[in-house]
C-alpha cells in the first residue's frame, strides 16, 4: 500500500513539473506574439 502511495506522490510531483514547464512555455509564446504584434504596429 505504501509503495503505491509513494508512486502516486512521485507521479504527482512529475506532473507538477510538466505543468510548470507548459505554463512557462505558454507565457514565453504569449510574450513572443505580443512582441511581434508591437513590431507589426511599428512601435
CA 40 – CA 43 distance, rounded (Å): 8
The values of phi and psi at residue 42, to 5°, are 80, 20
CA 21 – CA 27 distance, rounded (Å): 10
pLDDT of residue 1: 59
pLDDT of residue 18: 94
Instruction: Tell the burial category of 39 from Cβ atoms under 10 Å away from its Cβ (0-12, 13-18, 19+).
Output: exposed
C-alpha cell recorded at residue 23 = 505554463
pLDDT digits (tens, 9 = 90+) for 4-43: 889 888 999 999 999 999 999 999 999 888 888 778 887 5
Amino acid at each position: 500500500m505504501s509503495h503505491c502511495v509513494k508512486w502516486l506522490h512521485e507521479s504527482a510531483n512529475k506532473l507538477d513539473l510538466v505543468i510548470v514547464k507548459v505554463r512557462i512555455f505558454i507565457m514565453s509564446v504569449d510574450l513572443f506574439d505580443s512582441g511581434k504584434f508591437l513590431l507589426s504596429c511599428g512601435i
